[in-house]
């Protein structure tokens, strides 16, 4: 953060702008001029293989960098509404030009990913970010031997790790084990081919539906795959990122061998909206109070109360806005209008919204 930004972020300035945040004044001068709100200007939108897109951005001075493996909130404004999703940073932390990128696979129900992939995001647009966060990271002391397992679009955080290691001229050994449905469905195919040539990388890609002729490994992950690669889970620090099924398998495998302490995992959440779900499925998580309950189909307010919480509420008819809280993820349906909202981190009135599948709210 520059000296001027530090000065503007000081409590003295906040006293002058009180009760408003200094950013509310500064961002009127220029949308990128903020001291706390992280923003980025889109430099390029690159179409990757496997129906994915990479957004290359120049962050403003409020950005304090990232550790490979972390994710960031990514918000674009469409028709007046800010749509926010959480994406993993995919670029190397060693870039010298100050840019960073997120990569995302176009998901049939993912509003933002579709928006990116359809080419609606133009270079020069200002996007709304958050500081990078997450514990699924490349450690400061990189172990001499490490295994990076990924499935599908879960490749993005480990891709950032691998790119960073390549830029640093890593001297240890890395096994990069990636599962995709087919080569057509795989992100970063060409770059992965190139990275596989590096001396420290053991690049193994398994295409589960459409295996390459003569491939050493086939199908979904088993202990056999690791053994054939000459890896002992008990002595190999491992990072795994991907769909829940992959992580569950790997976790069971490591647990059985007593190697759970070697494993770091990150689930890759894709918002799945079942628009026809009249019946109640999934569970409702009240994040701030650490309570979860099976979705009963009632409004979130009623479900919170049934779970023993007493959130503030007012009219209970969607008028007074007293009960509005942040929905952290998942989809909800408005009981009056029938409208389904699936944005991350948006404000909803819990008295008139019912969950559609898994939902987490800040209650």
Q: Which of these ranges, 98-106, 176-184, 241-249, 281-289, lies near another protein under the rule CB under 8 A? A: 281-289
| 274, 183 contact by CB (below 8 A) | no
Q: Which residues pair with 118 in a beta bridge?
A: none
Q: Could you say whether residue 349 binds another protein (CB under 8 A)?
A: yes
Which one among 23, 48, 185, 266 touches another protein, defined by CB under 8 A?
23
- 308 part of the interface to another protein, by CB under 8 A: yes
> What is the rounded distance in angstroms from the CA atom of residue 159 to the CA atom of residue 165?
10
Nearer to another protein, 13 or 198 (CB): 13
Q: Which of 246, 323, 342, 356 binds another protein (CB under 8 A)?
A: 323
Closest CA to 342 of 101, 108, 80, 51: 108
CA distance 71 to 297: 32
Stretch that binds another protein, among 106-114, 168-176, 257-265, 285-293 (CB under 8 A): 285-293
* Alpha helices for the chain (secondary structure H): 3-8, 11-17, 22-29, 111-117, 155-168, 189-195, 223-228, 244-256, 300-306
79 binds another protein (CB under 8 A): yes
Q: Which of 126, 64, 113, 120 is nearest to 272 (CA)?
A: 113
Q: Which residues contact 283 (CB under 8 A, 6 or more apart)?
A: 292, 293, 294, 295, 358
Size of the site for another protein (CB under 8 A): 56
From 59, 343, 353, 357, residue interacting with another protein (rule: CB under 8 A): 343
CB of 343 to another protein, least distance (A): 7
| Nearer residue to another protein within complex by CB, 89 or 351 | 351
What is the CB neighbour count within 10 angstroms for residue 177?
Answer: 23
| Backbone angles phi and psi of 336, in degrees to 5 | -90, -50
Instruction: Based on the shown chain and the rule CB under 8 A, indicate whether residue 311 belongs to the binding site for another protein.
Output: yes
**Distance between CA 140 and CA 205 in Å, rounded?**
27
Report, in Å, the least distance between residue 75 CB and another protein.
Answer: 8
Instruction: Return the residue of 11, 15, 122, 141 that touches another protein, per CB under 8 A.
Output: 15
Name the segment binding another protein (CB under 8 A); options: 173-181, 236-244, 263-271, 312-320: 312-320
Q: Under 8 Å CB-to-CB from 60, ≥6 apart: which residues?
A: 32, 33, 34, 38, 39, 40, 41
Q: Which is nearer to another protein, 225 or 329 (CB)?
A: 329
Contact between 324 and another protein per CB under 8 A: yes
Q: What is the contact surface with another protein in residues (CB under 8 A)?
A: 14-16, 18-21, 23-25, 27-28, 36-37, 75, 77, 79-84, 130-131, 286, 288-289, 302, 305, 308-312, 314-326, 336-337, 343, 345-347, 349, 362-363
């Amino acid at each position: 953060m520059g000296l001027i930004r530090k000065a503007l972020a000081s409590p003295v300035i906040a006293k002058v702008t009180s009760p408003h945040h200094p950013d509310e004044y500064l961002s009127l001068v220029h949308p990128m001029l903020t001291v706390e709100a992280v923003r980025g200007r889109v430099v390029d939108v690159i179409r990757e293989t496997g129906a994915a897109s990479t957004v290359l951005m120049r962050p403003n001075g409020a950005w304090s960098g990232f550790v490979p493996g972390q994710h960031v909130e990514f918000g674009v404004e469409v028709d007046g509404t800010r749509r926010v999703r959480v994406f993993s940073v995919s670029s190397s932390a060693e870039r010298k030009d100050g840019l960073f990128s997120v990569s995302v696979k176009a998901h049939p129900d993912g509003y933002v990913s579709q928006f990116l992939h359809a080419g609606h995001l133009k270079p020069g647009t200002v996007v709304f970010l958050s500081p990078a966060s997450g514990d699924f990271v490349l450690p400061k002391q990189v172990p001499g031997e490490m295994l990076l397992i990924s499935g599908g679009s879960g490749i993005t955080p480990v891709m950032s790790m691998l790119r960073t290691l390549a830029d640093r001229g890593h001297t240890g050994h890395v096994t990069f084990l990636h599962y995709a449905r087919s080569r057509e469905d795989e992100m970063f195919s060409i770059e992965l081919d190139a990275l596989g040539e590096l001396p420290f990388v053991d690049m193994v890609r398994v295409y589960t539906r459409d295996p390459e002729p003569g491939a050493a490994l086939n199908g979904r992950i088993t202990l056999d795959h690791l053994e054939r690669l000459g890896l002992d889970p008990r002595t190999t620090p491992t990072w795994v990122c991907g769909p829940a099924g992959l992580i569950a398998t790997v976790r069971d495998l490591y647990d059985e061998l007593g190697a759970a302490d070697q494993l770091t995992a990150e689930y890759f959440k894709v918002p799945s909206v079942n628009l026809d779900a009249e019946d109640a499925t999934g569970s409702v998580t009240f994040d701030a109070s650490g309570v979860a309950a099976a979705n009963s189909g009632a409004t979130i307010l009623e479900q919170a109360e049934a779970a023993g919480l007493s959130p503030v509420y007012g009219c209970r008819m969607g008028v007074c806005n007293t009960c509005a809280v942040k929905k952290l993820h998942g989809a909800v349906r408005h009981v009056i209008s029938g409208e389904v909202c699936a944005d991350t981190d948006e404000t909803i009135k819990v008295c008139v919204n019912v969950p559609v599948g898994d939902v987490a709210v800040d209650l």
